[in-house]
A and B are shown apart, each in its own frame.
Chain A
Amino acid sequence: MNSSAVARRRFPLSIVALIVMVVILALLPFYIRGYWIRVLTTLFMSAVLAEALNLVVGYAGYAAFGNGVFFGIGAYTTAVLMTRLGWSFFPAMAASCFLAAALAFILGWPVLRLRGHYFAIATIGINMAVMEIVTYIGITGGGKGISLPIYPGNIVKQGLFFYYCMFILLILSVAITYWVANSRLGYGLRAIKTEPEAAEVMGVNTTLYKVLAWSISAALTGVAGSINAYWLTFLEPLFVFDIMISVEAFVMVLLGGPATIFGPVIGAFFLKLLSELIWSQFTLIHMGVLGLIIVIITLFLPSGIMGLWRQITLRWSKVRTTAANQ
C-alpha cells in the first residue's frame, strides 16, 4: 500500500483549504452584521481556550481541569493595570500573558509531579483558591466586580478590533500548537503521555517539558482572558473563574480530537455554533443540554471528530488500494 503517495496528494489540498478559510474569516466582518461578529469573536475565544488546553490535556496527557484559572488571572491583571494604574491595553495584555505563564511555571514544578486524578483535583483547587483570593482582596474590586475603560471608537470599530484580536490570537495558538507538535517538545510530551518512566529514561526532561507545555497553555489562556476582559468591560470573580470555562474547553478538545492540531478548533466551532443556533434561546436548560452532549460524546465519539475522520479516511484508502490491487 502506497500510503505516502496518499499523504503527498492530500497535503497541499489541506493547506489550500486552510488559507481559503483564513482569508474568508479575515474578510467576513465586512459582510456580516454586528451580532455575527460577536458570535464569531466568542467562537475564536473558545477555540483559543480549547487549543491551549489541548497542549496540556491532548499532548502531555495531564487533565488540567482548572485551566480556567489563567483566563481569570489574565482578565484581572488587565483590569487592574488598566483601571488602577492607567496602562493602555496592549502593555496590560502582555503583562497578563506574562503573569499567567509565570504562575503556571512556578506552580508547575510542584503540581505537575502529581499524576492523574491528583493533578486534576489540584488544578481545581488552585482555580477556586485564586478565585476566593481575588474576591477577598480590595484592589480587584472584590465580589462587586470591576469596570474597565471602554474601547475608544464607535461600536463598529470596537467590534472589528476585538474580532481581529481574537482571530490573530487563534492563528497564533494554532501556529504554536503546530510548532509544539512537530518539535522536540511535542515528541517529549507524547512520550510522557504514553510512558513517563520510559520518557525519563530516554533522556526527556519530563518535569521541564510538562512545565513548559503548561506555561504556554497558560500564556495563551491568559491573553484570551485579557482580550475578553477589555471586550466585556466588566468582570466578576464568579464569572471569569468559573470552572465551566475549563470544562467547556475540555469538551471541545474531546469532541474535536485531543492531540490533533485542528481538532480543538473544530470542536469549539462545532459546539459553540450548535449552542448559538439551537439551544441558546433556552437558557434554563442550557447547562443540561451541554451535560447531555458531554455524555453522548463520551459514549459514542470517544476519539473525537478528528478520530472519526481518520477512521473514515483510513477505510477509504484501504478500499481504494484493495480496488487498485484487484
Chain B
Amino acid sequence: MDWQVIINGILLGGLYGLAAVGFSLIWGVMNIVDLAQGAYLTLGAYITFWLFKLWGVDPFLTLPVSAIILFSLGFIVESQIIKRVLRYGFVMLLVVTYGLNLLLQNAMLVAWSADYRSVTPSYSGAGISIAGVNIPYIRLALFIAALLLVALLTIFLNKTRIGNAIRATALNRLAANLVGIRTEFIYALTYSLAAALVGMAGSLISMVYTVSPNLGGAFMTKIFVVTVLGGFGSLPGAVLGGLILGITEALTASYIAPGLMNAVSFILLVVILIFRPQGLMGKQFYGA
C-alpha cells in the first residue's frame, strides 16, 4: 500500500468535506439543491486571491473577509430571490439556482477574465517528510482549517440557541413556527451561513488550486458526490464523504488511470444513489 497516495487523498478529502458542508446544510434544512454554491466557492477563492495580490494579506487571514462578504451575498440572494421561488417547488429552485450560478460566474469572467491565477504565499513549497511520506505544510494546514470549521459549525448547531432553532426548522418548519421560531429568518440565516462556509472553502482551495471562473464548476460535481456519499444534512457525513472521495480519487489516479478519476467518482455517485440514497451515515438531517 502506498501511504503517500492515501495521505494525499485524505488531505484533499478534508477540503472536499468543507466544500460540501454548506450544500448539505441547505439541502437538509431548506430542502434545496443549491447549484449556486459553485459560484460562491469561486468568489471566495477570488477574494483571497485579490487580497493577497493587492495588499499581500496572508491567505489564512482572508477567511473572515470571505465569510462576511459571502454571508451578505447569501442573505441578499435568499431574501430577494430564493424566498420568492420556494413555493414553486424544487424544479424551479434547481433552475433558479443554476441561473444564479451562471450569472455570478459570468460576472466574474467579465470582471476578472478567464486567466488562471494562483495564490503563492512564501510557505507554499515547504513540507515535512515522515517515514518517506511527504506532507506539504500548506495542505496539512488546510486540512486542519477545514476540520476546525466543520467542528465549529457542529458546535454552533448543537450548542447555541440559534443552532437549535435551525435544527428545529429542519425537522419541521410548521412546528418550529408554532413554538415561536421565525423560520423565514432561519432560512435566510441558513442560506447565508452555507454561502459563507463554501466561500471559506473557496478561500482555502485557492491556495492549492489555480483560480479561474470555472473553479466552482469543477468543485460542484465533487460536492454532489460528497454530499450523496455522506448523506445530505449530515455534517460528519460530509467529512467522511470528503475523505472517501479524496482517497478514491487518489487511488484511481495512481492505480487505474488518471483519466478515469472523475468517471469513477461519478459512477460512485450514481451507484450510491441507487443502492443507498440516504448516504453512508444512514440518517437524514436530525429527522425529517
Interface, chain A (partner B; CB < 8 A): 57, 61, 63, 65, 110-111, 113-114, 116-118, 120-122, 124-126, 128-129, 132-133, 135-136, 247, 250-251, 254, 284-295, 298-299, 302
Given contacts A129-B267, A294-B95, 8 further A-B contacts (CB under 8 A): A114-B274, A117-B33, A120-B94, A121-B33, A132-B260, A132-B262, A251-B99, A291-B105
B148 within 8 A of A: no
Residue contact A295 to B99, C-beta cutoff 8 Å: yes
Q: Which of B31, B269, B274 contacts A110 (CB 8 A)?
A: B274
Closest to A122 in B: B273
B263 within 8 A of A: yes
Residues of A within 8 A of B100 (CB): 291, 295
Residue contact A254 to B92, C-beta cutoff 8 Å: yes
Closest to A292 in B: B103
Residue contact B273 to A114, C-beta cutoff 8 Å: yes
Residue contact A291 to B102, C-beta cutoff 8 Å: yes
Residues of A within 8 A of B101 (CB): 291
Question: Assuming the A-B contacts A117-B33, A132-B263, A132-B266, are A298 and B102 also in contact, with contact meaning beta carbons closer than 8 angstroms in the complex?
Answer: no
B60 within 8 A of A: no
Residue contact B263 to A129, C-beta cutoff 8 Å: yes
A136→B107 CA distance, assembly (Å): 32
Interface, chain B (partner A; CB < 8 A): 27, 31, 33, 81, 84-85, 88, 90-92, 94-96, 98-107, 109-110, 221, 224-225, 228, 257, 259-260, 262-263, 266-267, 269-270, 273-274, 277
Q: Which of A113, A118, A294 contacts B99 (CB 8 A)?
A: A294
Residue contact A291 to B99, C-beta cutoff 8 Å: yes
Question: Assuming the A-B contacts A117-B27, A288-B103, A295-B96, are A111 and B270 also in contact, with contact meaning beta carbons closer than 8 angstroms in the complex?
Answer: yes
Residue contact B277 to A65, C-beta cutoff 8 Å: no
Interface centre among B90, B96, B224 (most CB of A within 10 A): B96
Residue contact A284 to B94, C-beta cutoff 8 Å: no
Closest to A250 in B: B95
Could you pull out 28 A-B pairs where Cβ atoms are within 8 angstroms? Answer: A114-B274, A118-B228, A118-B277, A120-B33, A121-B224, A122-B274, A124-B221, A125-B267, A128-B266, A136-B257, A136-B260, A251-B99, A254-B91, A254-B95, A284-B106, A285-B106, A286-B106, A287-B106, A288-B102, A288-B107, A291-B101, A291-B104, A293-B99, A295-B81, A295-B103, A298-B85, A298-B92, A299-B84
Residue contact A290 to B33, C-beta cutoff 8 Å: no
Residues of A within 8 A of B33 (CB): 117, 120-121
A165→B31 CA distance, assembly (Å): 42
Residues of A within 8 A of B224 (CB): 121, 124-125
Residue contact A136 to B102, C-beta cutoff 8 Å: no
Residue contact B109 to A294, C-beta cutoff 8 Å: no
A61→B273 CA distance, assembly (Å): 19
Residues of B within 8 A of A113 (CB): 274
Q: Which of B92, B106, B263 contacts A136 (CB 8 A)?
A: B263
| 4 closest cross-chain pairs (CB), A and B | A294-B99, A288-B106, A291-B102, A291-B103
A99→B133 CA distance, assembly (Å): 47
Residue contact B269 to A125, C-beta cutoff 8 Å: yes
Question: Assuming the A-B contacts A128-B266, A294-B99, A294-B102, are A116 and B90 also in contact, with contact meaning beta carbons closer than 8 angstroms in the complex?
Answer: yes
Give the distance to chain B from A196, nearest Cβ to Cβ, in Å. 15
Q: Which of A57, A135, A286 contacts B91 (CB 8 A)?
A: A57
Residues of B within 8 A of A293 (CB): 99
A251→B274 CA distance, assembly (Å): 27
Interface centre among B90, B91, B105, B107 (most CB of A within 10 A): B91
Give the distance to chain B from A113, nearest Cβ to Cβ, in Å. 8
Give the distance to chain B from A90, nearest Cβ to Cβ, in Å. 32
Residues of A within 8 A of B277 (CB): 114, 118
Residues of A within 8 A of B102 (CB): 287-288, 290-291, 294
Closest to B101 in A: A291
A125→B90 CA distance, assembly (Å): 18
Give the distance to chain B from A158, nearest Cβ to Cβ, in Å. 33
Residue contact B90 to A63, C-beta cutoff 8 Å: yes
Residues of B within 8 A of A302 (CB): 85, 88, 92
A92→B243 CA distance, assembly (Å): 44
Residues of A within 8 A of B274 (CB): 110-111, 113-114, 122
Residue contact B273 to A298, C-beta cutoff 8 Å: no
Residues of B within 8 A of A118 (CB): 228, 273, 277
Residue contact A299 to B98, C-beta cutoff 8 Å: no
Closest to B232 in A: A117
Give the distance to chain B from A54, nearest Cβ to Cβ, in Å. 12
Question: Assuming the A-B contacts A120-B94, A121-B224, A294-B102, are A299 and B263 also in contact, with contact meaning beta carbons closer than 8 angstroms in the complex?
Answer: no
Residue contact A121 to B273, C-beta cutoff 8 Å: yes
